Amino acid sequence: MQIVRYSHSGAAPQYGWVFEGKVGPLEGSPFEAFKRGGAQHALEEVHLLAPVTPSKIICVGRNYVAHAQEHDVDVPEVPLLFLKPPSSLIGPGETILLPPQTQRVEHEAELAVVVGRRSRWLNPETAREAILGYTIANDVTARDLQRRDGQWTRGKGFDTFCPVGPWVETEFDPADAVITCSVNGELRQMGSTRDMVFPVLQLLAYASSVMTLEPGDILLTGTPAGVGPLVDGDELLSSIEGLGELRNPVKAEPAH
């Protein structure tokens, strides 16, 4: 099932589900009991939002060998965790803003795991039960600031630096799916989730040994090789086989 958050004709955002190109409401919560309402609107008629509203966005650095190599760093011995603030979240079609403080913003297409239930101390077996589904994300990064600061809060944390969507797919198998990232139609990144250093269930278990995972929290699982710059006017397309496509325009933010 594909779970979305959407707004129609300016109404308040609500959860919905997608069936054959149409959207219907989800009555109840996707994290608890719900009923599927009848499909009401064509997908193009609704405004899709980021599919969940996370209390935190957990990320994993250097989880693909080829990406670590392109930055001339070693793969970590345990998962390298960092956070993006919920204020960095945007949805499908929303604009990524290039802040005036940076000269180098880069794309990082990533598989994102959506947490389905409150969890602590998961193991790779129980982690499966804690997952609602999967979606596409891009861990947009101000590379110059990430390097200059020595830690990543600023470089990874600007508003609009976490596009996510278009929906949460509950039936997805993360073992071997192709991830691609294109800019203006030019292919920049292509990899497979099978090349993760630490697989999804191990990452979720590890994160849950540090912090309580809440329903709707998102875990970004790292990016394959090929990261590169974004400039004003670009059209970013992140895609994962079985999850669809996430499109976001890119604009320079004026100095304030």
Interface positions with Mg ion (CB under 5 A) = 108, 139, 223
**Other C-beta atoms lying within 10 Å of the C-beta of residue 72:** 6
d(Cα 52, Cα 115) in Å, to the nearest integer?
10
Nearer residue to Mg ion within complex by CB, 94 or 139 = 139
Residue 63's nearest CA partner among 158, 173, 192 is 192
* Smallest distance, Mg ion to C-beta of residue 150, A: 17
Question: Which residues, at least 6 apart from 77, have a Cβ–Cβ distance to it below 8 Å?
Answer: none
- 132 or 137: CB nearest Mg ion: 137
Q: Which residues contact 32 (CB under 8 A, 6 or more apart)?
A: none
- Considering beta carbons, is residue 39 or 190 the nearer one to Mg ion? 190
- Residue 109 and residue 237: Cα distance in Å, rounded? 9
Nearer to Mg ion, 26 or 179 (CB): 179
Backbone angles phi, psi at 205, to 5 degrees: -60, -45
Selection from 223, 232, 152 nearest residue 188 by Cα: 223
Alpha helix locations (H) across the chain?
65-70, 143-149, 153-157, 200-208
* Cα-to-chain-centroid distance, residue 194: 18
CB of 108 or CB of 169, closer to Mg ion: 108
What is the closest distance, in whole angstroms, from the C-beta atom of residue 223 to Mg ion in the complex?
5
Q: How far is the CB of 204 from Mg ion (least distance, A)?
A: 16
Nearest residue to Mg ion by CB is 139
Residue type, 69: Q
**Which of 4, 111 has the CB closer to Mg ion?**
111
- Phi/psi at 125 (nearest 5 deg)? -80, -50
Shortest distance (Å) from residue 108 CB to Mg ion: 4
Closest approach of Mg ion to the CB of residue 54, in Å: 16
Smallest separation (angstroms) from Mg ion to the CB of 21: 31
How do beta strands 178-183 and 186-192 pair? antiparallel
Tell me how far, at minimum, the Cβ of 110 lies from Mg ion, in Å. 6
Give the integer Cα–Cα distance in Å for 217 and 215: 6
Between 180 and 223, CB nearer to Mg ion: 223
